[in-house]
Amino acid sequence: MNFSFDAMSYPYASRRSVVYGRRGMVATANPLAAQAGLEILKQGGNAIDAMIATAAALTVVEPTANGIGSDAFALVWVKDKLYGLNASGPAPAAMTLEALQSRGFKEMPVLGMLPVTVPGTPAGWAALSKRFGRLPLSQVVEPAARYAEEGYVLQPAVGSGWPRNLAKFSKAIETDKSVQGWFDTFLPGGKCLGPGDVLVLKDHAATLREIGATNAESFYRGALADKIDAYFRQFDSFLRKEDLAAYQPQWVEPISVNYKGYDVCEIPPNGHGISTLMALNILKELDLGPVDSFRSTHLQLEAMKLAFADARRYVADPDYMTVPVERLLSDEYAAQRRACIGDRARLPEPGDPIRGGTVYMCAADGEGNMISYIQSNYMGFGSGVVVPGTGIAMQNRGNNFSMDPESDNCVAPGKRPYHTIIPGFLCKDGKPVGPFGVMGGFMQPQGHLQVVLNTVEYGMNPQAALDHPRWQWVGGNTIEVEQSFPNDLAQALQRAGHDIVVKADPIGFGRGEIIWRNDEGVLCGASEPRSDGQVAVW
């Protein structure tokens, strides 16, 4: 691929430009984490080593979005092949529908220990390091451990997350003392932190070093597993060391659709990257018209709504899905769903496929290796559970299970929940173009769709593709848009039945990064203007 976009064309408000490099590049939403990855590249590591270093650092410097107790997914390009890694964890053996019902729950709990599934991130780091890394894992996590041990300064977007999380966990602790660890860890001296404050996480540093020294064995079958087990037993919750010991991440075959000559690649379910692919499949036979036109935006919205409706109905742990991925991505089913789109907004309903659907980072090196990686505790800090003496902040991914016995995604022991975090990767003619991603819960596939169309359909450079004003479907016919979204377009969509809500805070519209590589090996990177993002280049 050669860069065909105008690198100096910035039609949207931004203080950023694309970044070029050749020897290596790391892009993520936090400059400290990006620098950790660049440090490992300069120590002789490859893109995969750099990505693990960045991911480990993000558990330290961006705890508002992820932690050591996260889940993760990756798409890795090495030696002319794209590999997928699913490092999301299953429900513990004791997490049954009946057990939750017996505790009075009719919907999955949100905070505390009960929604915690087996964390996959440490095992994911170890698996990536073992298969593709060049440096020892202990060396790769050291920059992150150093940040934690010596203390680091909270960046603006990260620091702004403390007050709202303090309010949330202050309410939760009234009935659930298992979230006390959040206060002990993230409110030093009882102070609510903010941008520019310094946070020291010595327990976190020791845990990172133990994970590095044992290639994550301690977390799943050693001393760290014992500490996790003891804390969950203290509160009579589900997770046990036997659940941790049984866990292994899975190498998976990426799924893709071809859109205008580009292969758009995602991780297969239990993630919902398939919803981006279903929407692209619906759109690929349509004339979208100019960028920011009513036709283009309306068609994108309706296609995304249909894809989401299918994903919420059919996507689950693949061992439990009643509809195969191949059917959801078939041209026949795309045509069936395409026929549902009219000139006005409509409430989406799942189709019938049987008849006839966080922190992100990417890195690249001078050898051609590239990686798209994402990890998350789900809702901000996650469950609020921090295992004492370890700094391990646990996700609350079990909240994405259903408690409907008829659902493919109904909670069950050993089953992985519907997952919102998705890395993306673009290829053309069997060659890598590069990794991309937009983090942010259910915004992620919508962000993927908008970024792909901005670059492939409309020829924007990576930074312009991220700067472009975003929309987000949030349910019914309600569409949230950024303040920079064109007013005349918003009014046209409103007349067509879309309920347009202008949001003052851009944080809900996702945070993304992109790295493209051309045929000469030149790297072109972009970072998110809605966050503290940085492209670190060598």
pLDDT computed for residue 392 by the predictor:
98
Query: In a 3-state reduction of DSSP, which class is residue 52?
Result: helix
How far apart, in whole angstroms, are the C-alpha atoms of residue 297 and residue 117? 37
User: For the stretch 150-185, what's the b/e string if a residue is b when 16 or more beta carbons lie within 10 angstroms of its beta carbon?
Assistant: eebebbebbbebbeebbebbeebbeebebbebbbeb
Q: How far apart are CA 272 and CA 486, in angstroms?
A: 29
Say how many C-beta atoms besides its own lie within 10 A of residue 213's C-beta. Answer: 14
Identify the H or E element spanning 27: strand 24-28
Which of these, 155, 133, 191, lies nearest to 28 by C-alpha position?
A: 155
Sign of CA dihedral 529, 486, 476, 313: negative
Two tokens at 31?
Answer: 């400059």
How far apart are alpha carbons 65 and 72 in whole angstroms?
A: 12
Q: How is residue 77 written in tokens?
A: 């390009």
| H or E element that contains 360 | strand 359-365
Locate the domains of the chain by residue range: 27-251+360-366+377-398
Q: d(Cα 55, Cα 60) in Å, to the nearest integer?
A: 9
Token digits of residue 218: 């301690």
Which structure tokens are listed for 82?
A: 């794209």
Greatest CA separation found in the chain? Answer: 63
User: Which amino acid appears at position 120 of this protein?
Assistant: G
Taken in order 144, 51, 523, 465, the sign of the CA dihedral is negative
Closest of 498, 126, 128 to residue 294, by C-alpha: 498
Contacts of 406-409 with CB under 8 Å at 24 or more apart are: 407/316, 408/313, 408/314, 408/315, 408/316, 408/320, 408/321, 408/322, 409/315, 409/316, 409/317, 409/320
Separation between Cα atoms, residue 232 and residue 225, nearest integer Å: 11
Task: Say if residues 487 and 33 touch (Cβ distance below 8 Å).
Answer: no
Q: What is the pLDDT of residue 353?
A: 56
Catalytic residue among 59, 117, 185, 358: 358
d(CA 416, CA 281): 26
Asked if 296 and 290 count as a contact pair (C-beta separation under 8 A), the reply is: yes
358 is catalytic: yes
Amino acid at 157: A
The neighbouring-strand residues paired with 407 are: none
User: Kind and range of the H or E element at 130?
Assistant: helix 121-132
Whole-number pLDDT of residue 354: 44
Q: List per-residue pLDDT tens for the chain, 538 residues long.
A: 555 565 545 566 666 889 999 999 999 999 999 999 999 999 999 999 999 999 999 999 999 999 999 999 999 999 999 999 999 999 999 999 999 999 999 999 999 999 999 999 999 999 999 999 999 999 999 999 999 999 999 999 899 989 989 999 999 999 999 999 999 999 999 999 999 999 999 999 999 999 999 999 999 999 999 999 999 999 999 999 999 999 999 999 999 999 999 999 999 999 999 999 999 999 999 999 999 999 999 999 999 999 999 999 999 999 999 999 999 999 999 999 999 999 999 998 876 554 432 789 999 999 999 999 999 999 989 999 999 999 999 999 999 999 999 999 999 999 999 998 899 999 999 999 999 999 877 899 999 999 999 999 999 999 999 999 999 999 999 999 999 999 999 999 999 999 999 998 887 898 899 999 999 999 999 998 888 889 999 9
Q: Which DSSP letter does residue 455 get?
A: I
Characterize 402-416 residue by residue with b for buried, 16 or more Cβ atoms within 10 angstroms of its Cβ, and e for exposed.
beeeebbbbbbeebb
Closest to 509 in 3D by CA, of 479, 475, 481, 476: 481
Q: Which residues contact 119 (CB under 8 A, 6 or more apart)?
A: 68, 69, 70, 71, 89, 219, 392, 394, 395
At 16 the pLDDT is 83
Q: Closest Cα partner for 76 from 67, 85, 63?
A: 85
**Which DSSP category does 193 fall into?**
-
